[in-house]
Structure 1
Amino acid sequence: MKIKTIDVFQVDLPVKGGVYRLSGGREYTAYDATIVRISTDTGFEGWGESTPFGSTYIAAHAGGTRAGIDLLAPTLIGMDPRQHDRLWDKMCNTLKGHRDARTALDIACWDIAAKAAGQPLCDMLGGRTPGAIPVISSIGGDTPEKMREKVANHRAQGFLGHSIKIGASEAEGGPMLDAERIQACLADRQPGEWFLADANNGLSVEHALRMLSLLPDGLDFVLEAPCASWRETQSLRQRCNVPLLLDELVQSEADLMQAISQDTCDGVGLKVSKQGGITPMIRQRTIAASAGLVMSVQDTVGSEISFATILHIAQSTPRHLLRCALDPRSMVTLSTAEFEAPIVNGGAEAPDALGLGVSPKLETLGEPVATYGV
């Protein structure tokens, strides 16, 4: 089996609710998604998605994603899409860094491989764990009252996890506002729920310590990605009384090994397009599991194709270490594919369909913005 053609599509995903806010004054009204279709000489085709979280989350942006694919795609023509390590090596040797550009290509090849093997993708990634995967909401920064209301709305939809954004500037209310946000969002906490207070690397150590000192004892939450640098995070780690989970600082296997060797965190947020696709995700999942780190399986943002990838990875992750999986469908208003994985009683389960199990909506994707291999 050989890769014959690669088509690239671009689509804007409007933010549900109109605007999404992160620490540092970052705001988003839409996300620029890149979706690829890889076709083979045997008739199998696979789909993948890479949607950066704007241009200020990590060193990635949508224009760069497609520019990277423009370099990578021609080198994959004629290769076997089932040889994941060789494909990854080829992409690494063609373009250093730019994991977001490798993501959609890597996912599409795994989709093909699973279809050719006659299996759902999760069965190729270690085997399906039984039962639904608990899903986590993503609550943008707002007033404490509005954030509490958003948590309640997601709870009513069945979400068991909640990622609440913090990182208010001093002018907005600083540590006091962030402490109020955390307390408000946890005020109605139900048994079995898991909360992340996510700063997206937006806090100084001083801000974080002030915020934590303002919180009452007994609040059950995890502080995610508090600081922008390893030095700051390690300094906070030595004085922090809540569990720490790393996200943006961990992109490569080397990053994860550094976090483990320095005992910087208690868990890690693995995000498909941040890590670079499925191939590095499963490598890093194994490393994290070996160190006993808990994991959330997510993506930066995305549509149904992104969620399908997340769900299959999560479905094959050791359940005792898995906390939640992100459903990015809840963050945007546009649907790019049919994917049968409803949220029921707090979770979703990967379907038994072959591969990712997605049926892209070609009328929504429109014409390819680039095609390779013709």
Structure 2
Amino acid sequence: MKIARIEVYSVTLPYAGGTYRLSGGRSFTAFAAVFTRVMTECGLEGWGESTPFGSTYIAAHAGGVKAGLAELAPALIGMDPRHHDRIYDAMDAALVGHAHAKTPLDVACWDIAGKAAGLPVCDLLGGRVPGAVPLISSIGSDDPQAMRENVASHRELGFLGHSVKVGSAEAEGGPMLDAERVQACLADRRPGEWFLVDANGGMSPEQALRFLALLPKGLDFTFEAPCASWRETLSLRKRCHVPLLLDELVQSDADIAQAVASDACDGVGLKISKQGGLTPTRRQRDMARAAGLVMSVQDTTGSDIAFAAVLHMAQSTPRHVLRCALDTRSMVSLTTAAFDAPVQGGGAQAPAIPGLGVMPDMSIMGAPIAIYEDTP
């Protein structure tokens, strides 16, 4: 089996909640998604998605995905899409770094591999763990009461986890406002729910310590990505009384190894496009598991195809280390593909059909913006 053609598509995904706010004054009303369709000479095809969280979350942006694909896609023509590590070797040889650009190609190759084997992708990633994967919402920074209502709305939809965004600037209210936000969001906490308080690297150790000191005792949450650098994070780690989970600082195998060696955290947030696709995410998941770290499986944002990759990875992750998976579909108001994974009983299950189980809506995709193929 050989890759014969790669098509690239670009779609704008409006944010479902109007405006999404992060620490540092960052806000988003829409996200630029890039999709790849990898086609083989035998007729099988696979799809992948990369939707960066704007251009200020990590070193990634949609324009970079498109430019990166121009370097990467030609290097894969003629290769066997089932040889995941060799595919990744070829991409690394063609372009250093730029994990977000490698993601849609890597995921599409896993989609093909599942179809070729007659198995869902989760079976190829280690095997399905029975039962629904618990899902986590994403609650953007807002007025405390509005955030409480947002949590309640997602609770009614069946979400068991909630990622609460904090990191207010001093002029906006600083640690005091963030403490009020967290107390509001946890005010109606139900048994079995799990809360992340996520600063997205937007706090200094001083701000993080002030924030924690303002909270009443007994609030059960995990503090995610409080600081932007390793030095700040390790400084806070020595004085922090709640579990820490790293996200933006953990983007590679080396980052996982550093987090373990320095005892920097109690868990990691693995995002498919941030890690570079399913191939490196699977490896980093297993490294984290071996070190006793818990994890959430997410993506920066995205539509149905991004969620399919998230769900298959989470479905194959042992439950004792998996806390939640992010349903990116809940973040955007546009459906890009049919994907049979409804939220039921607090979670969702990867469909038991070959590949990712997605059927893209070509009326949404439109015409490809780039095509790469072997020309005589």
Q: Give TM-score scaled by structure 2 length.
A: 0.99
- 1:202 maps to 2:202: yes
CA-to-aligned-CA distance 1:122-174 (integer Å, 9 cap, x gap) = 01110000000000000000010000000000000000000000000001000
Contact kept in structure 1, 2:31 and 2:53, CA below 8 Å: yes
Residue in 2 that maps onto 1:73: 73
Give the Cα–Cα distance (whole angstroms) in 1 for the partners of residues 55 and 122 of structure 2: 31
User: Is the aligned partner of 1:104 residue 2:104?
Assistant: yes
How far apart are residue 118 of structure 1 and its match? Answer: 0.4
* Cross-structure match for 1:168: 168
> By how many angstroms is 1:305 displaced?
0.2
Secondary structure of 1:17 counterpart: coil
Equivalence for 1:311: 311
Write the letter of the residue equivalent to 1:323: R
Whether the 8 Å contact between 2:118 and 2:353 is mirrored in structure 1 is no
Please list, as runs of the form range in 1=range in 2, the aligned pairs for 1:190-339 lying within 5 A after superposition: 190-339=190-339
Q: Which runs of 5+ in 1 are unaligned?
A: none
Letter in 1 for 2:186: L
User: Quick check: 1:46 aligned with 2:46?
Assistant: yes
Alignment of 1:96-175 (within 5 A): 96-175=96-175
Deviation at 1:290?
Answer: 0.2
Q: Can you list the C-alpha shifts for 1:11-49, whole angstroms capped at 9, x where unaligned? A: 000001211000000000100000010000111000000
Shift of 1:195: 0.2
**Letter of the aligned partner of 2:197 in structure 1?**
A
* Secondary structure class of the residue paired with 2:367: coil
Structure 2 Cα separation of the partners of residues 29 and 87 of structure 1? 35
Aligned-partner Cα distance in 1 for 2:126–2:299 = 20
Deviating runs (4+, > 4 A) in structure 1? none
**Separation in structure 2 between the aligned mates of residue 78 and residue 299 of structure 1, nearest angstrom:** 29
Runs of at least 5 residues in structure 2 that lack an aligned partner in the other structure: none
- Aligned counterparts of 2:296 and 2:304: Cα–Cα separation in 1: 18
- Letter of the 1:204 counterpart: S
Q: Deviations over 1:89-138 (max 9, x none)?
A: 11111111100000000000000001000001101110000000000000
Following TM superposition, by how much is the alpha carbon of 1:273 offset from its aligned partner in structure 2, in angstroms? 0.2
Residue type at the aligned position of 2:64:
G
Deviation at 1:254, TM superposition (A): 0.2
How far apart in 2 are the matches of 1:266 and 1:240?
12
3-state SS in 1 of match to 2:6: strand
1:36 counterpart SS class: strand
Structure 2 CA distance, aligned partners of 1:350 and 1:76? 28
Structure 1 position 59 matched with structure 2 position 59: yes
Q: Hey, what's the Cα distance between the residues in 2 that align with 1:19 and 1:13?
A: 12
Deviations 1:245-266 (A, max 9, x none): 0000000000010000000000
1:26 aligns with 2:32: no
Report the Cα distance in structure 1 between the residues aligned to 2:17 and 2:314, rounded to whole angstroms: 27
What amino acid sits opposite 2:246 in the alignment?
L
**Alpha-carbon distance in structure 1 between the residues aligned to 2:164 and 2:321:** 21
